[in-house]
Amino acid sequence: MRLLKNNTSSKTNCDLSHCFLCSNSLPGWQSLIGANRKNLRYKKGATIFNEGEEANGMYFIYSGIVKVHRRWGNQKELIIRFGKAGDMLGYRGLGDEKKYTVSATAIEPVVICYVELAFFESLLQINHSLTYQLMQCYANELQNAEKKMSNLVHMNVKARVADTLLALQSQFGKSKEGNIDIALSRQDIAAFTGTTYETLFRTMQEFIQDKLIKISGKKIFVLKEKKLAELTQVQ
């Protein structure tokens, strides 16, 4: 998926060129898209949509970070993935069931480009290339999901935490300071790893002891990437 330059002012509207939808449509269609899209703003912690709700539209992230997650009971959750500028949300609604099967929550202020499902589907009918790109995007997501599924069953927590940190660094990159360029609560890191806060905490302490990582508040520095990668391999 496409990356966006670092224009995260929450005042900005989508410029009709960077999101998944626009970048996969011919320039001539942008006025049509512009006329049918809404810009939505969410503050940190706000729900974008909830699992079980009627799927009404497609959400294209213009700026900010979103977690895509599933809840269990009212204390447990699994974070399936994080979405950032250029990513798409809600498209699972295209399946047989027109309901969201996951939830999406802003973990920092987010600007969304939103279109109604009916409009999006009509775009797919006339824009072959958009459908093809969407299909490609799914193929990748499926691979990720299948890999994650397998990791959850086969890897122990230590390996999964190592994998999580490397995945976060790969998706969000490093800041100039050198830390992974995303600020997550330990709770969210645990939910992304598929473990509890306490176990995540202890595992990270172990990594700090072993000098594999370094921590300063919410800033995480990967010190020994190779060692972490080794931990994720079958022993």
Partner DNA sequence: TCAAAAACATGATATAAATCATACTTTTGC
Partner DNA sequence: GCAAAAGTATGATTTATATCATGTTTTTGA
Residue 147 near a second copy by CB under 8 A: yes
Rounded CA-CA distance 100/234 in Å is: 35
Complex with a second copy: residue 116 or 141, whichever CB lies closer = 141
DSSP state of 152: H
Q: Applying CB under 8 A, which of residues 12, 13, 39, 136 lies at the interface with a second copy?
A: 136
Q: DSSP characters for 65-96?
A: -EEEEEEETTTEEEEEEEE-TT-EESGGGGSS
The interface partner of residue 30, options being a second copy, DNA, none and the CB cut-off 5 to 8 Å by kind, is: none
Smallest distance from a second copy to CB 163, Å: 13
User: What is the pattern of x (binds DNA, CB under 7 A) and - over residues 160-199?
Assistant: -------------------------xxx------xxxxxx
Smallest distance from a second copy to CB 227, Å: 20
Rounded CA-CA distance 114/58 in Å is: 6
Q: Applying CB under 8 A, which of residues 140, 156, 185, 205 lies at the interface with a second copy?
A: 140
Complex with a second copy: residue 52 or 178, whichever CB lies closer = 52
Q: Applying CB under 8 A, which of residues 143, 175, 185, 205 lies at the interface with a second copy?
A: 143
Half-sphere exposure (Cβ direction) of 104: Cα atoms closer than 13 Å? 27
- How many whole angstroms from its chain centre is CA 53? 20
- For residues 116-135, which are near DNA according to CB under 7 A? none
Q: Applying CB under 8 A, which of residues 29, 138, 172, 221 lies at the interface with a second copy?
A: 138
Q: What's the Cα-to-Cα distance from 43 to each of 15, 51, 60, 106, 169, rounded to whole Å? A: 20, 19, 16, 7, 24
- For residues 69-128, which are near a second copy according to CB under 8 A? 70, 72-73, 76, 78, 80, 91-92, 94-97, 101-102, 124, 128
Rounded CA-CA distance 93/90 in Å is: 6
- For residues 45-84, which are near DNA according to CB under 7 A? 45
Q: DSSP characters for 101-149?
A: SSEEEESS-EEEEEEEHHHHHHHHHH-HHHHHHHHHHHHHHHHHHHHHH
Write the single-letter amino acid at 84: K
The residues of the shown chain that bind a second copy, judged by CB under 8 A, are 70, 72-73, 76, 78, 80, 91-92, 94-97, 101-102, 124, 128, 131-132, 134-136, 138-143, 145-150, 152-154, 194, 234-235
Positions in the binding site for DNA (CB under 7 A): 43-45, 156-158, 185-187, 194-199, 201-202, 205, 217-218
